[in-house]
Amino acid sequence: MTEGVLWPELNGDVPRWQDLRVSLSSGRPSTNPPTFGTFRNGLEMWSFSASQVQNLYFEAQMPHGWVLGSEIRPHIHWSPGNSTNTGAVMWELEYSWANVNDPFPASTIINSTQAAAGVAYQQQLMPWTPISGTGKRESSVFVCNLSRVGNNAADTFTGVAFGISVDFHYQVLTGGSIEEFPA
């Protein structure tokens, strides 16, 4: 290994994917939160209702090693719990994304539906539409509202849906920024 080279496997020009992970267990409840209850045995997670809109708030900060300007690909990991129902769940992500020293813009809402696989306790991954990173910098922050839109006609899953985590795939070429506080 060459002295001072911390990420030799990146080899210059080939971007690699990383996860910016958000644990929903640390999400803040809203005025209409999901229920934090038993998922399986002694394990608990947020369970989102099939008949109403329930939501959690969280924030996420872009890492310093992110390829500036590249798109961000958000998705949710979820489970149908003990249900074998194959109906679709509608998940919605509302976000505002701002650089340090910039005002947060009006929020954007993206939603998507995914059919449950019909397998009890299966972990599923549902992507939302990619988000453009144009003009964003290291340490920019997302302020987010995650919802299950259980009262929407497109949400046909009759059981509770358990939210496990939300994460944002992003690309890296390096292990971080040169400046501690990029401007």
Residues in CB range of 122: below 8 A, 6 or more apart: 79, 80, 116
End-to-end CA distance of the chain: 32
- The neighbour count for residue 71, using CB atoms within 10 Å, is 15
Task: Write down the pLDDT at residue 32.
Answer: 87
Query: Does the structural domain 32-106+114-169 have CATH classification 3.90.320?
Result: no
Rounded CA separation 163/122 (Å): 12
pTM here? 0.88
23: amino acid identity, one letter: S
**What's the token pair of residue 9?**
């496997």
Rounded CA separation 156/88 (Å): 5
What are the per-10-residue average pLDDT scores of the chain (183 residues)? 45 78 82 91 95 95 92 96 97 98 98 97 97 96 96 97 95 74 59
